[in-house]
Structure 1
Amino acid sequence: MEQQITWTDGEGHLRTALWHSGNATAPPRRIVLADDRTKADDAYRMAAEGTAMLWCGDFHNARQLLSALKRRIDRRRRRPPDDAAIAFNQHRQAQTFRAKVLGSLLVQVEEGAVLPLRRSPDVRAACAEAGCPLDRPFACSLTALLGMTGSHEWRRNGVEVPALGGARIHPYYGVFSPVRGEYVDLVARAPLPDACSVRSTAFDIGTGTGVLAAVLARRGVAEVVATDLNPRALACARENVERLGLAAQVRVTEADLFPARRRAALVVCNPPWLPVKPTSMLESAVYDPGGRMLREFLRRLPDHLEPGGEGWLILSDLAEHLGLRTRDDLLVLFAQAGFDVVDRLDVRPRHRKADDTSDPLHAARSREVTSLWRLAVGSS
């Protein structure tokens, strides 16, 4: 069902517009007009109280106001407590407040995805790629629009993947970008199971951009079936596979985890790493409520492995450092699903947050290790 926003314009007339949110954010109820005269302190107060502002001024001034709101949010930052679980909960609350305040600055986009503001950029291609309506006007948050334009640049320029010999993966809007290359490197260097020499078939579960499927194909796996449920991810993976010249080896298909009635010598899965409820579409790549996807993957995996085959599970141990799951919890899940651990390959993260002492989760991130667990069905 389409949602709309309503506000009163400068002449006192009631106006409405289609509401667009890539993260399924509910439309704001209270909206006032804002322009170049709006003070940052006033904007921050209104946003914190739940009032959204529809911007009518210069585009660059809107971006400056957004930066001013970020600075005021950062002033609220408190020293994180020593308890990691409490620190994580506080971090989530702070992120929710941040999203609320920054998402309160709105823009209206005219039919054809034209932004009618002074000094505004051309956002037509970005809006089209993000699935915005092009045949009618709509409104969205400025942060959402900036996210679309940023994603457009990611998609155009791509992300270099060393494990693919420096080739680039081009992520779509709403599809998690493989910027954390260490987990890709793990898949590139883990020894393929002996079963691959008998039946060279692999599954890449939750393929996203298709990067892991591409790595497996480049390693010589004859047939790779890459699955996902997100239509954007499926289109993104297909385009990347075509661009890399791997369409003859990699088949991208819509499936809830596993392809129906199929088995493989190798099944690879990089599920969301934190067993927490996501609050946005992009967070779904990181947060898995209660570890639901992880549990379901392990439960169903034995029925999709060839004899002697392996399941490769890629997980960060950040959840353990945050008190969200213990190592014993994970090992119990393996045992309950009937798996033995053949081996574990570890790598330290290389992302900037690992060294950012100002990050509220730095204590946990500084100890984080990403692992590739090689799992095989036990003999008992």
Structure 2
Amino acid sequence: MIHWTEHGEERSAPWRSESGTAAPRRVVLADDTLAADTAYRLACAGTGLLWRGDFQNARHLLQALMRRADKPPKAKGAKAGRKAQATATAGSAIPAQAFHLHRQAQAQRARTLGMLLVPVQGDHTIALRRAPDLREAFAEAWGPADGTACVVSLREVLGLVGAHEWRKKGVEIPALGTEQAPRRIHPHYGVFSPVRGEYVDLVAQAPLPANGLAFDIGTGTGVLAAVLARRGVQRVVATDQDPRALACARDNVQRLGLSAKVEVVQADLFPAGQAPLVVCNPPWLPGRASSSIEHAVYDEDSRMLRGFLSGLAAHLSPGGEGWLILSDLAEHLGLRSREQLLEWVAGAGLRVVDRHEVQPRHAKAADASDPLHAARSAERTSLWRLAAL
């Protein structure tokens, strides 16, 4: 719950946060008269700003807060310059430390920008001037309206709207086939979008060991299961344990006309039985996720990666292959070594048949201003072809 005072009365409402962020302890009312500098100072101090003004003006204020949050600090004198240089050098020498500092800074930024709050009525409407009708977007993310009003950060609302637009438009996946057939994947809210196409291309191009049956472990949007089916695999069993991912994968399979070939089932990693091809694209970075969407990026203690490797041999048909799709960004950041990965492979009774790799094409790989540029520019995404010993 969050609590505030309005018209001399104490009021409260349920707090909703997909990322699990705690409710602000202090909440004040804010409207169109609030100056951006004042708003930023309050937000940095952890004060929630419950908006009572024009919705579009709240969006403009959030943009102003973002500019202030992203503004680099001014160096004061030569001593500060030398300190900044030393910090940058240390960050380059210790990639893991630079990565953790980057995550801390991003988390602090998210907390600050998340202090601008809007009320959502029990019917999923926002009772503010010029507020758009977001009922469809709320229903997609939260389910049908149940009459319970809540307060949510404007930043999260806009993220929800963005996810709604992605779901409507879809993501073009050329690996799904020709332009004559549907080849768009429609990510649902909270399910990671397949915008990094290089890993999809690896699955589309690697030689198939067989085309009778394949397992897709941790299917997410269902994109890899769909690619395998379009390549001629007769039956694909796609697993996930997240309800949003399961609904998303089933929706995409149906949109693509692949329901007869792809079965989506709830499972923690493997379905029952064995297959000549078992594919897994686990989260690439060991670390704790701070929101539902981050579970596609961060794999705490490499749980999913190690679980896939340790259980793979038992789920491979004789002569079958396991395809592990994995970026080496964690290696360049010092979060996991190549030697450790190979030890896990060998310890699971597996051998490496071959490895196909590709250089990432995303914008951050070429952005020299990115704090993790050194690691990102060296990153390679690989498809490891594994077989039982």
Match of 2:348 among 318, 330, 337: 337
Match of 2:373 among 347, 362, 374: 362
For 2:70 and 2:185, how far apart are their aligned partners in 1? Answer: 33
Aligned residue in 2 for 1:215: 227
Aligned residue in 2 for 1:26: 22
Question: Residue 17 of structure 1 contacts residue 138 of structure 1 at CA under 8 Å; is this kept in 2?
Answer: yes
Question: Residue 167 of structure 2 contacts residue 186 of structure 2 at CA under 8 Å; is this kept in 1?
Answer: yes
Mapped pair 1:327 → 2:323: no
Shift of 1:290: 1.4
Question: Residue 22 of structure 1 contacts residue 130 of structure 1 at CA under 8 Å; is this kept in 2?
Answer: no
Which aligned segments of 4 or more residues in structure 1 are displaced greater than 4 angstroms? 76-80
TM-score by length of 1: 0.95
Mapped pair 1:247 → 2:248: no
Q: Which runs of 5+ in 1 are unaligned?
A: none
Shift of 1:364: 0.8
Mapped pair 1:312 → 2:330: no
For 1:272 and 1:330, how far apart are their aligned partners in 2? Answer: 14
Aligned residue in 1 for 2:81: none
Matches within 5 A, 1:89-238: 89-131=100-142, 134=145, 135-165=147-177, 167-193=183-209, 196=210, 200-238=212-250
Aligned residue in 2 for 1:300: 311
Match of 1:6 among 3, 14, 18: 3
Shift of 1:136: 2.5
One-letter identity of the residue aligned with 1:288: D
For 1:254 and 1:25, how far apart are their aligned partners in 2? Answer: 28
User: What SS does the corresponding residue of 1:6 show, helix, strand or coil?
Assistant: strand
CA-to-partner distance for each residue in 1:143-175, whole Å, 9 max, x for gaps? 110011100000000000010125100000000
For 2:370 and 2:49, how far apart are their aligned partners in 1? Answer: 29
User: What SS does the corresponding residue of 2:163 show, helix, strand or coil?
Assistant: helix
User: What SS does the corresponding residue of 1:312 show, helix, strand or coil?
Assistant: strand
One-letter identity of the residue aligned with 2:3: T
Residue 132 to residue 246, structure 1, CA distance change in 2 (3 Å): closer
Shift of 1:356: 1.3
Root-mean-square deviation over aligned CA pairs: 1.3
User: What SS does the corresponding residue of 2:378 show, helix, strand or coil?
Assistant: coil
Question: Residue 20 of structure 1 contacts residue 132 of structure 1 at CA under 8 Å; is this kept in 2?
Answer: no
One-letter identity of the residue aligned with 1:182: E
One-letter identity of the residue aligned with 1:161: I
Question: Residue 316 of structure 1 contacts residue 370 of structure 1 at CA under 8 Å; is this kept in 2?
Answer: yes
Q: How many residues align?
A: 369
For 1:288 and 1:178, how far apart are their aligned partners in 2? Answer: 17
One-letter identity of the residue aligned with 2:106: Q
